[in-house]
Amino acid sequence: MFFFSTQYLLLTLLTMLTEKSYSKSYFLPRMIPKKKLSQLLFYLTLFLCCRMLIVLSFVYDILPLTFHDKWVFFYGGDFVRYFDMALSFSEFDFSGGMYPVGYPSFLTPFVWIFKATQWQEIVVPVAIFQSIALGGLSIFLVGIIAFTVTKDMRISISAAGLWCFFPVITYYFFSLCKSTDLLRGINIPSLLWVRMYSEPRSTFLILLSTFFVLRYANIFVLSSLAAFCAGAAFLVREDGAVFILIISFFILFRYIVKQVKLSAIIGFFSIIAIVCSIQLLHNYFLTGNIFISGHYEVSIQYCKLAGLKEWSLNNVIFLSQYS
């Protein structure tokens, strides 16, 4: 999901860079006309309702899936480690943990609210919040981003609809494959955003940052908010650095062609530096190197146990299983 959203973003930005209608505009996009906005919001709200029904149909086995019990979807053990870090953070202990700090920080309020001591006590509210609230809002973000780029109502509605129904499309596509139940049980919950994993949060932050950059890059406060979301995506998943590079290139290009104010540029890069420094400092106190995380060190240990050299090609292939 992360790489899908990053590729979508890159295509979006390249389209914006080649869009002649923006070349004379100081603000990047034009406002959406009221009539078209009403039509777009109607369809996006309809897709939001469909999204809720889709999630509930999988949760309550109208469309059956393996590896789950209602809202609790099982696969891997990362969610246990995320919870352990969140539990430590809730006690203001930031000294340990192999994963980036962003997602455990997101889980910490759930630990406080539900006074949780075990992951089972927050897994359901987190699943509901991610799949319904963040998943629903992501439909609106995709639709508005698509309209900002294309100014075409049909394309915008189609993009939001594809985003909404993609789990169902994938579900039936897997019926053409071997090990159908296994593929569905592993992959569909990730597309529904019901697992207590970092991908949904990272993808949502990428979309939100893209929305602010495309529509309000020239406004200091909202440009800074876009930077905060981009930095937060990096805190949630370290591969968010790819997104930061892409969006930084885009906003710098707009500054060079004098379509973004200097104040917005300063705010953007200042906020990104401040937010990203949180993870870099955590890396330093954990491993002694700002560029090496605990996650990387644990992966290297897996390689050593398997008898792989640290920088061999086999190492890269092996690490991909744990990234």
Q: Which residues of 102-126 are buried (b: 16+ CB within 10 A; e: fewer)?
A: bbbbbbbebbeeeebeebeebbbeb
303 falls in which pLDDT band (50, 70, 90)? low
112, pLDDT greater than 80: yes
Q: What is the mean pLDDT of residues 227-231?
A: 94
Q: What is the pLDDT of residue 299?
A: 58
Q: What is the mean pLDDT of residues 253-266?
A: 83
58, pLDDT greater than 50: yes
Q: What is the pLDDT of residue 224?
A: 86
Least-confidence region, from 19-23, 226-230, 266-270: 19-23
Q: What is the pLDDT of residue 34?
A: 77
136-147 pLDDT tens trace:
999 999 999 999
Q: What is the pLDDT of residue 296?
A: 58
Q: What is the pLDDT of residue 232?
A: 94
22 falls in which pLDDT band (50, 70, 90)? very low
315, pLDDT greater than 60: no
State the Cα torsion 130-134-136-137 to the nearest 10°.
180
62 falls in which pLDDT band (50, 70, 90)? very high
User: Pick the residue with more confidence: 5 or 254?
Assistant: 254
233 falls in which pLDDT band (50, 70, 90)? very high
Q: What is the pLDDT of residue 139?
A: 96
291, pLDDT greater than 50: yes
Q: What is the pLDDT of residue 81?
A: 87
Supply the pTM of this predicted model.
0.83
Q: What is the mean pLDDT of residues 41-45?
A: 94
Q: What is the pLDDT of residue 66?
A: 85
User: Pick the residue with more confidence: 11 or 128?
Assistant: 128
Between CA 206 and CA 208 the distance in angstroms is: 5
Residue 36, exposed/middle/buried by CB under 10 A (0-12, 13-18, 19+)?
A: middle
Least-confidence region, from 101-105, 106-110, 302-306, 319-323: 319-323
Between CA 318 and CA 59 the distance in angstroms is: 33
316, pLDDT greater than 70: no
Residue 318, exposed/middle/buried by CB under 10 A (0-12, 13-18, 19+)?
A: middle
144-163 pLDDT tens trace:
999 988 888 999 999 999 99
Q: What is the pLDDT of residue 322?
A: 47
